[in-house]
């Protein structure tokens, strides 16, 4: 048991619960519950997007990937920021201008609402489930390693926390949990980066000279992790397009009052996310130098402990007061990170079910505010319970591929349909449903028969299906449109959506 670590965890839990209590008084209408009453400022939302996006997988995972694989880990981290160009330029402002709470709102505007909302809710639930499961399993393993609390106990605890944040705090509470987490994470990364680079007088050349002197020049050369460039291109496609199709990221744009604020929020998020990933690379290289690959692998063979171990070593090493304090602090930051991401995912999943499926498909839009909020909160509880159950069932499984899968589904099923709905006049319901279904089935299917799941017996050669499934999603959306003639009048609605998306006229 690590008492200093547990103490810091308790402080973080207490702060977030106070926020949740405060937010629970502003949580009566659907706009408040799903979109924080559109009261979040651009800068606040920028921090919240960063907090929603920078998962434990990126903080601990990328630092570990670099500590063990050098250059290839660094190259992997690049796509996580470049993805925001697509978010900024193509998606954020049109979504804010023409939607209310979910991606399906934009589709339902000009397409037949029942089939497109059902399909969009299905893809959102699949993406959220995969991504959440990866986070839960990672969190359970991590907390066990950091604090010595049993895996099942950690999962149940995180599940209960995310249910509390979402059902009582709604979007307002979740947003502030994400903002605080982003602040803590940036502080931790800046602190460690200065410490590491300070040892080399902030001279990048002497830093890397020291590393290659110790680990060989090949540590700074590609090829240690990725043998096949096509694999990396495929992963890059899923990252770059998938980020713009991630439901928990899209949902954040509805919390700001205007499209201009949505733009400001992406710019802030890009500043934070970019500098965070650059710093993470220094932490990864620093961990390789100060801690060493073998010592990192001895604690966790995936390398996830690289950043916490670096903190411990810099602080004075195992058993020293400074070392244990820094380890506890970085571990607590990682814990806050997990909580903020799962809360965002829970909210996205419950909005897809409650707003898209229950209210607009089952009830045909005829449900009063009180009922809608009640259903959304209950869905949040159900999502949390399912996440706990799946997390416990997946104990000991290697679920790292689920993160890649979530991005593959988001890029193949959601992005073709979002882009066509906003930019292509002829697009219709047949195309939307076909695009979502084909994108969803092909990305999941190719992943299941690929090497990440089947190992050496794989029928599909790539572990990342994006390079095939993304074009399939676009093709299906195109063919579905061309081959069906829509009988309803929704095609006239394109002008309306197009004007709304581009000018913000009539935006809620």
Partner 1 sequence: MRWDKIAQSEEFKHLVKIKAWFMTIAIIFSTVYYFALPLSVGYLKPFMIQKVTGSINIAYWFALSQFFMAWIIAGIYAWVANHSFDPIADKIRRENAGGLER
Instruction: Write out 51-84 in H/E/C secondary structure.
Output: HHHCCHHHHHHHHHHHHHHCHHHHHHHHHHHHHH
CB environment 218-249: b (16+ within 10 A), e (fewer): ebeeeeebbeeeebbebbbbbbbbbbbbbbbb
| Backbone conformation region of residue 228, classed left if phi is above 0, alpha if psi is from -120 to 50, else beta | beta
Complex with partner 1: residue 155 or 239, whichever CB lies closer = 239
Q: Which of 341, 343, 323 is nearest to 331 (CA)?
A: 323
DSSP secondary structure string, 283-303? HHHHHHHHT-HHHHHHH-TT-
> Which residue has 């066990």 as its token pair?
144
Q: Are 332 and 50 in contact (CB under 8 A)?
A: no
Is the C-alpha dihedral spanning 149, 151, 153, 154 positive or negative? positive
Q: Are 390 and 135 in contact (CB under 8 A)?
A: no
Complex with partner 1: residue 185 or 352, whichever CB lies closer = 185
Complex with partner 1: residue 213 or 322, whichever CB lies closer = 213
Q: Which residues of the chain form contacts with partner 1 (CB under 8 A)? A: 71, 74-75, 78-79, 81-82, 84-86, 88-90, 204-206, 208-209, 211-213, 217, 220-223, 226, 228-229, 232-233, 236, 240, 260, 263, 266-267, 270-271, 274, 277-278, 492, 495-496, 498-500, 502-506
Instruction: Write out 410-466 in H/E/C secondary structure.
Output: HHHHHHHHHHHHHHCCCCCHHHHHHHHHHHHHHHHHHHHCCHHHHHHHCCCCCCCCH
Complex with partner 1: residue 216 or 322, whichever CB lies closer = 216
Complex with partner 1: residue 354 or 410, whichever CB lies closer = 410
Complex with partner 1: residue 75 or 432, whichever CB lies closer = 75
Tell me the C-alpha distance between 385 and 204, whole Å: 47
Q: H or E element: which one contains 194? A: helix 170-198
Tell me the C-alpha distance between 448 and 441, whole Å: 10
Complex with partner 1: residue 194 or 423, whichever CB lies closer = 423
CA distances to 56, 79, 130, 411, 479 from 241, in Å: 21, 10, 17, 5, 21
Q: Which of 228, 143, 178 is nearest to 346 (CA)?
A: 178
CB of 223 to partner 1, least distance (A): 7
**Residue 225, φ and ψ in degrees, nearest 5:** -115, -45
Q: Which of 444, 503, 506 is nearest to 125 (CA)?
A: 444
Tell me the C-alpha distance between 3 and 430, whole Å: 58
Tell me the C-alpha distance between 238 and 186, whole Å: 26
Residue 194 CB neighbours (<10 A): 13
Complex with partner 1: residue 79 or 140, whichever CB lies closer = 79
Complex with partner 1: residue 90 or 114, whichever CB lies closer = 90
CB of 374 to partner 1, least distance (A): 26
Complex with partner 1: residue 46 or 315, whichever CB lies closer = 46
Complex with partner 1: residue 81 or 161, whichever CB lies closer = 81
Complex with partner 1: residue 51 or 236, whichever CB lies closer = 236
């Amino acid at each position: 048991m690590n008492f200093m670590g547990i103490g810091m965890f308790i402080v973080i839990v207490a702060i977030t619960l106070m926020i949740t209590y405060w937010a629970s008084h502003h949580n009566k209408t659907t706009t408040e519950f799903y979109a924080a009453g559109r009261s979040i400022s651009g800068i606040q939302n920028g921090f919240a997007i960063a907090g929603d996006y920078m998962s434990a997988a990126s903080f601990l995972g990328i630092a570990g990937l670099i500590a063990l694989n050098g250059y290839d880990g660094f190259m992997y981290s690049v796509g996580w920021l470049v993805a925001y160009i697509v978010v900024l330029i193509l998606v954020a402002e049109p979504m804010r201008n023409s939607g209310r709470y979910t991606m399906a709102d934009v589709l339902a505007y000009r397409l037949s609402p029942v089939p497109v909302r059902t399909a969009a809710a299905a893809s959102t639930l699949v993406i959220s489930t995969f991504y959440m499961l990866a986070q839960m399993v990672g969190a359970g393993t991590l907390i066990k390693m950091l604090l010595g609390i049993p895996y099942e106990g950690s999962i149940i605890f995180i599940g209960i926390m995310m249910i509390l944040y979402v059902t009582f705090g709604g979007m307002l509470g979740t947003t502030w949990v994400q903002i605080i987490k982003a602040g803590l994470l940036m502080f931790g990364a800046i602190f460690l980066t200065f410490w590491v680079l300070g040892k080399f007088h902030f001279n990048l050349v002497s830093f890397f000279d020291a590393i290659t002197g110790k680990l060989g020049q090949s540590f700074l050369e590609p090829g240690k992790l990725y043998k096949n460039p096509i694999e990396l291109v495929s992963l890059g496609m899923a990252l770059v397009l998938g980020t713009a199709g991630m439901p928990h990221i899209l949902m954040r744009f509805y919390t700001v009052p205007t499209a201009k604020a949505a733009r400001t929020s992406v710019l802030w998020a890009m500043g934070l996310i970019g500098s965070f990933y650059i710093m993470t690379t220094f932490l990864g290289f620093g961990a390789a130098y100060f801690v060493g690959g073998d010592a990192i692998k001895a604690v966790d063979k995936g390398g996830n402990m690289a950043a916490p171990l670096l903190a411990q070593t810099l602080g004075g090493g195992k058993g020293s007061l400074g070392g244990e304090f820094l380890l506890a602090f970085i571990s607590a930051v990682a814990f806050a990170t997990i909580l903020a991401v799962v809360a965002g995912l829970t909210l996205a999943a419950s909005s897809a079910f409650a707003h898209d499926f229950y209210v607009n498909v089952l009830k045909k839009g005829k449900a009063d505010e009180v009922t809608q909020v009640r259903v959304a909160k209950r869905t949040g509880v159900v999502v949390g319970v399912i996440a706990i159950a799946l997390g416990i069932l997946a104990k000991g499984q290697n679920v790292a591929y689920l993160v890649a899968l979530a991005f593959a589904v988001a890029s193949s099923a959601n992005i073709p349909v979002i882009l066509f709905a906003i930019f292509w006049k002829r697009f219709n319901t047949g195309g939307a449903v076909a695009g979502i279904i084909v994108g969803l089935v092909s990305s999941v299917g190719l992943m299941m028969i690929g090497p990440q799941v089947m190992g050496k017996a794989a029928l599909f050669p790539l572990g990342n299906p994006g390079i095939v499934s993304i074009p399939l999603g676009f093709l299906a959306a195109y063919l579905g449109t061309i081959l069906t003639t829509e009988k309803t009048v929704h095609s006239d609605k394109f002008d309306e959506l197009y004007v709304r998306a581009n000018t913000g006229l009539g935006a809620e």
